[in-house]
A and B are shown apart, each in its own frame.
Chain A
Amino acid sequence: MPVTRGFGSRPRRGRPDRLPPGQYDVGRDWPVLTAEAQPVIDPEQWSVTVDGAVATPRTWTWREAHALPGSTYVGDIHCVTTWSMLDTTFAGVSVDTLLEIARPRSDATHLMAHCETGYTTNLPLADVTGGRAWLVWEHEGRPLPSEHGGPVRLLVPHLYFWKSAKWVDRLELLTADRPGFWERNGYHDRGDPWLEQRYQGDP
């Protein structure tokens, strides 16, 4: 590919080794990006259901979810629109904890996250187990704001952030992969930022 006339590389602030290819460090200025009108969700009315290919379908209310063992993520997040935020903190519950209770069947291979707005995103089971995915309700020690998916969003920080579905209310275990919202609309099925899996057709 051609070098762009008159374009030079900028010193990248922060830690370039922590930035996947094509990403930049947004600092603490967290952009808001959604495809739908932002819903208003009362935490007392919110619940999350784990169902589909599981032995024991289960629903947790806000209070019940908070009674589960808590879990925190400290690290980086990466959005397909090219910003990354480094060393940020989320708190909630590990998806492992929910799955240990609901017990995915042996033929479960994928998970579809569903949201209050109708948004969906699909994930291989291996990407949401083993301490790699959370339901979170706190960011930097404060309640997760609605524009960032509050009261509760999915967090899968090792994949592009469209996989970390806002306003999540259902995790459906699947026995075969099925594309979610952006995955049907031109974006990559898995979305690994280190492999730059941004759009359909990427490796």
Chain B
Amino acid sequence: MSEPAAEPGSLWTTGEVVEIERIGHRLVRLRLDVAERLDHLPGQHYVVRLRAPDGYTAQRSYSIASEPADPLLELMVECLPGGEVSGHLHDVADVGDVFELRGPIGGWFTWSGEAVAVCVAGGSGVVPFVSMLRHADGLGILGRLRVVAVARTLAELPYAAELLAAGVFVALTRENLGNRVAAPPYPEELSALVDGVERAYVCGSVGFATYATRLLGEAGVRSDVVRVEQFGASG
């Protein structure tokens, strides 16, 4: 591995699937051995490109779940209805398969410990924050990263056990969790988490991102410190 890519946007390379775990009907976790891999910053993404025998290609971007120190690249992909790439990764991909990869990409939605930050994730939007949490844990600076993960049920939240073990505030909207009754997060529940933050990150669907940026505003976070990553409809 080389120095972190200060100017991300590397050229195409390949990655071989070393581990694959299908989680329920909607999630697949892939661990890849990337040729000529460049170090990434937590929050960045990779493009995965599939190639048919006739030369037709399809490509989509996926957030990185692994921390920079991990020798493998980990992606957690949510399967979208009719998703051409996510469907292949969930239904067909196997250990030993080689995919075209490009990355790391994105120099905006990144965190390496430089700012005290609050992160608000909706569902599989938690993936870039898993990379940030693992990185923070490795550096012993978990206190600089406060993560809020919102999901309908614990089963639908990727990395739920890891998030709870890291002290993440998990807000479930369709089932109770411990003493917390099913509900979206209240601004009062965020007040301690946003205290003293210099930056905020929001990742989720378009609807969730709109909701979460408003919630952060109600909790007292200035909109100009909010960085947003949205996904959906690009399957």
Contact = CB atoms under 8 A, between A and B. Distances in A.
A82 B7 contact: no
Interface in A41-65: none
B232 A200 contact: no
A150 B206 CA distance: 16
A74 B226 CA distance: 34
A34 interface: yes
A143 B53 CA distance: 45
Contact of A36 (B51, B92, B228, B234): B228
A8 B53 contact: yes
Contacts of A3: 51-53
A126 B9 CA distance: 25
B202 to A, nearest CB: 8
Contacts of A29: 233
Given A4-B88, A31-B232, A32-B206, A200 B8 contact: yes
A187 B9 contact: yes
Contacts, number: 115
B224 A118 contact: yes
Interface in A183-199: 184-188, 199
Interface string A157-193: 0000000000000000000000001101111100000
A199 B234 contact: no
A96 interface: no
B107 A37 contact: no
Contacts of B12: 1
Contacts of A39: 223
A34 B57 CA distance: 26
Given A2-B100, A24-B58, A200 B9 contact: yes
A156 B33 CA distance: 39
B92 A33 contact: no
B11 A201 contact: yes
A199 B102 contact: yes
A10 B12 CA distance: 23
Contacts of B217: 37
Interface in B14-46: 14
Interface in B37-92: 49-54, 56-61, 84, 88, 92
A186 B226 contact: no
A22 B59 contact: yes
A153 B17 CA distance: 42
A35 B227 contact: yes
Given A31-B234, A200-B7, A184 B107 contact: yes
A147 interface: yes
B10 interface: yes
Contacts of A82: 58-60, 234
Contact of A26 (B97, B224, B233): B233
Interface string A10-27: 100000000001101010
A81 B226 contact: no
A9 interface: yes
B210 A38 contact: yes
Nearest to B225: A37
A1 B100 contact: yes
Q: Which 4 pairs of residues, A with B, have the shortest CB-CB distance?
A: A9-B56, A200-B9, A185-B107, A199-B9
Interface of A: 1-10, 21-22, 24, 26, 29, 31-39, 81-83, 117-118, 147, 181-182, 184-188, 199-202
Given A2-B14, A36-B226, 20 more contacts: A1-B12, A2-B100, A4-B97, A4-B100, A6-B92, A8-B53, A22-B58, A33-B230, A34-B230, A35-B108, A35-B227, A35-B228, A37-B226, A38-B210, A83-B234, A186-B105, A186-B106, A187-B9, A200-B7, A201-B11
14 contacts: A2-B100, A4-B99, A10-B84, A24-B58, A29-B233, A33-B206, A34-B230, A36-B223, A38-B210, A38-B213, A82-B58, A82-B59, A147-B210, A185-B8
